[in-house]
A = this chain, B = another copy of it.
Amino acid sequence: MTSPEVGISVVERETGLSKDTLRVWERRYGFPDPHRDRHGERVYSAEQVGKLRLISRLLDRGLRPRQLVAASIEELRARVAAPAQPSPAADNSPPFETTLKLLAAYDDAGLRSHLSLTLQRLGLLRFILEFAAPMNVQVGDAWSRGTLAVSQEHLYSEQMQHQLRQGIGTIYPGRRTPSVLLTTLPGEAHQLGVLMAHACLALEGVRCISLGVQTPIRDIAQAAHQHGADVVALSFSEALRLKAALAMLQELRAQLPQSIEIWAGGALWDHAQDVPPGIRLVSRLEHIPHELAEFGQRHGAPPAAAV
């Protein structure tokens, strides 16, 4: 704990709620109810910031603030944890458990070795589908429950990224269609989704180009054009607000010719019911081969020749 009480701009940064919103909530609902320093400026307690963070998360799921501000912290925490899909039965099979144990012990060398061995043992595809993807969810859950520190989540992410890139690096680049441009929208900093998708696509022999994360809309459109991409594939974690994501998707759709498809995937869409027209939801990495086959049919290409 550095300082238990923070100013409004810190709260804005930490919760994503604008200063205006924080002030107007205080005026309307009486929450948050910050102290004032000697100069009359708002000073928020760590507890209130925590509650605001929870509320902010629930807002993204379409709930409205009036009820949320009145609820207790426990209630909010329960709502945040629960109504996602009930977490795929907290897998306790050895690789998962070991990973969490290594993270808990801050054992980076052990983690590196464990991930590398698991990759070699399973092969890249099974490593991703059966291990990396569900593991990411577990790590994300543990982080949001507070079981895992930020630094541990970073460590995990870094090491996993390393393995995935090693894996991708060993694939000889294919030339199958469609040509896919991979990236994330501004504000979405998680790389693992892009890397997993990259690997799955490359394993299908598809030509793909990754721009890393956080590419501005206009630049995605430009790059798609320049590279002659057939598909722009975007990865979304729960870090991005659903509203913002939808708005940006619509903007991108408008800037791209109809001949270029947009595929969207990632955890964000677990909570979403529908997407704007002209966007294809690829909710699971497993569906990628099927999606590629369908693309082939739509575009009259030869039906997915074996790699």
Question: Which residues of chain A have a CB within 8 Å of any CB of chain B?
Answer: 2, 106, 108-109, 112, 149-152, 154-155, 157-158, 161-162, 165-166, 168-169, 173, 183, 189, 209-212, 214-220, 222-223, 226-227, 251, 255
Contacts and interface: CB of A to CB of B under 8 A. Distances in A.
Nearest to A169: B166
Q: Looking at chain A's contact residues, is the secondary structure mostly helix, strand, loop, or mixed?
A: helix
- Copy number in the complex reads 2
Contact of A151 (B108, B169, B222, B251): B222
A180 to B, nearest CB: 12
Nearest to A182: B158
A183 B251 CA distance: 34
A162 B173 CA distance: 14
Nearest to A186: B13
Nearest to A107: B227
A235 to B, nearest CB: 14
Nearest to A181: B151
B151 A223 contact: yes
A245 to B, nearest CB: 15
